[in-house]
Amino acid sequence: MRYAYYPGCSLHSTSREYDSSMRAVAKVLGVELKEVEGWFCCGSTAAHAASRLLSTALPLANLASVRRMGLSDVLVPCPACLSRFKTALHRVDEEPAMAEDVAGIVQGDYAVQVRHPLQAFSAPGMLEAIALRAHLRPEPRRVVCYYGCLLTRPPEVAQFDDVENPQSMDAVLRAAGYETLDWPAKTDCCGASLALTEKEVVLRLCHGILRAAKDAGAQALAVACPLCQVNLDTRQEEVERLYGERLSLPILYFTQLLGLAMGLPAQDLMLQKHFVAPDFTRKEVAHHA
Amino acid sequence: MAEGVLRIDEASSEFAERIAELCGVNVDLCFQCGKCASGCPVAYAMDHTPTELVHMVQLGLREQVLRSRTIWLCSSCQTCSTRCPQGVDVAELMDALRIMAQQGRIAAPVPAVPAFVRQSVRNIAVFGRTYELGLMATLKLSTGGLREELGLGVRMLGKGKFRLLPGFQGSGEARRIIRRVKAREKR
């Protein structure tokens, strides 16, 4: 399978480990990723508060680049970007006036199927492929899957998974041998869009999520969003200080967890980049699928 | 809200009409069930809950709405829009209100948020891909809080979380798009 791949700004800076583990896992699963040529920022998380037209045109211009590469499917690992791409496509579909405005700004066709890698990894046949490749059993392995806001909301735009109780990440990680727990904060907001401006709000929201994960008995929290990861990981010490609780909950990308179970090399997973140190041991399993 | 007499007349509906034109959200569909406020993760910090704010828009209270903390504290998590039984896209409404407040040059009670919006767009125009280290530094320098966040920034640097130098890939095309959008919006 061959996809265009739009990493987005975060995966080239604060979340290089998401990019690197994504590429490594995709390779193992036979998913070919072609980085979008000359891509630029989709405008998230700010352009939508500055101009409706700008926040529609920036993503669509990037999708036009995908078409120019001769591809019509793109994987977008950052849900903040993903949401902007899907919103832009939804908008030009629903609003003829917007489509007309965009036509004067973005050259070329931008009709591209936009998906999150979780969607590709949980597609028919892929869970079996993951189970087959996950030959190691990492410990600890009790995890909660945190989906955050924008993977599934709003549902008519996201068109993916259950909006209040999504399951795709759970299915993907279970296929790799992890035990995923039920918990109530799967789609709560961590406040990432306020990360640089309203710290008090962010610490409170992060605390709610981290606390719920601990109460469910999680040994690690799995994420699919670079903004959530940075927020929950780098702010965790401040949360602990403010609330007088010890949390020490490693926040890992689902791709890092997959890579651990697949025995991928440390330089692809870059676990050392996290503030809360993930400490895993792994042993060979006969076959758990 | 301050006590006083609200004057509701023909002109009161102009605000809601303008918003419908701008973003397609029809606030008159709202019957004040309160679901948006009860699901909002940031409602506790707002001066008006989302439900109240929608009502204020219905009543045409333009000034109070555009000067509220609410429009800037909204984290755009889309819970309200997802759960509204009347299909009112409250998160989209918040964006429209933020855009109106900026166009009207109305001073925000939470100045760091509109500063972040402005500087982010400028960052895209210059670098194409967001230069995060530069954005964080200029934002904290201009809105305060640099010292408070310096420790975290240094630790993130130590973990190799930042690209030290900006790149300029895609910046030409991003600038062209931004320029064309501005020209179109002036018409």
Give the domain extent around B66: 10-103
**Cβ–Cβ gap A49/B98 under 8 Å:** yes
> β-pairing, A220-223 with A142-146?
parallel
Tell me what the mean pLDDT of segment A220-236 comes to: 97
Tell me what the mean pLDDT of segment A3-19 comes to: 96
Tell me what the mean pLDDT of segment B155-164 comes to: 89
**pLDDT tens digits for A71-117?**
999 999 999 999 999 999 999 999 999 999 999 999 999 999 999 99
Whether this prediction's pTM lies above 0.90 is answered by yes
**pLDDT tens digits for B17-51?**
999 999 999 999 999 999 999 999 999 999 999 99
- Clarify whether residues B79 and B120 are in a common domain: no
Considering the domain boundaries, does residue B163 fall inside one? yes
pLDDT at A14 over 60: yes
**pLDDT tens digits for A238-259?**
999 999 999 999 999 999 999 9
pLDDT at A286 over 70: no
Domains identified in chain A and CATH numbers: 2-117 (1.20.1050.140), 135-284 (3.40.50.11810)
How close B3 gets to chain A, by Cα (Å)?
A: 29
Q: How many CB pairs under 8 A join A and B?
A: 178
Write down the ipTM of this complex: 0.93
**Cβ–Cβ gap A13/B132 under 8 Å:** yes
Residue B148's pLDDT is what? Answer: 82
Tell me what the mean pLDDT of segment A216-236 comes to: 97
How close A198 gets to chain B, by Cα (Å)?
A: 8
Per-range mean pLDDT, top range of A191-195, A223-227, B110-114: A223-227
Q: pLDDT band for A283, please (50, 70, 90 cuts).
A: confident
The interaxial angle of helices B146-158 and A226-234, nearest 10 deg, is: 110
Percent of chain B with pLDDT over 90: 72
- Angstrom distances, CA of residue B88 to CA of A34, B32, B41, B54, B84: 38, 11, 18, 9, 6
- Clarify whether residues B50 and B19 are in a common domain: yes
Q: Which of residues 123-142 of B touch A (CB under 8 A)?
A: 123-124, 128-130, 132-133, 135-136, 139-140
Residue labelled with tokens 């035990």: A179
Q: Which of residues 239-268 of A touch B (CB under 8 A)?
A: none
- Clarify whether residues B90 and B64 are in a common domain: yes
- Clarify whether residues B118 and B175 are in a common domain: yes
Helix (H) or strand (E) run with residue A113 in it: strand A113-115
Lowest mean pLDDT among A176-180, B4-8, B93-97, B120-124: B4-8
Kindly provide the b/e burial profile for residues B153-175, where b requires at least 16 CB atoms within 10 angstroms of the residue's own CB. Answer: beebeebebbbeebeebbbebbb
B178 chain-A contacts, CB cut-off 8 A: 54
- Clarify whether residues B129 and B66 are in a common domain: no
- Clarify whether residues B47 and B125 are in a common domain: no
Considering the domain boundaries, does residue B1 fall inside one? no
Q: Nearest to residue A258, comparing CAs of A116, A118, A78, A52?
A: A118
Q: Choose among B95, B148, B184: nearest Cβ to A49.
A: B95
A139 touches chain B (CB under 8 A): no
Q: In whole angstroms, what separates CA B48 from the centre of its chain?
A: 15
**pLDDT tens digits for A195-207?**
888 999 999 999 9
pLDDT at A208 over 70: yes
pLDDT at A289 over 50: no
- Clarify whether residues B53 and B96 are in a common domain: yes
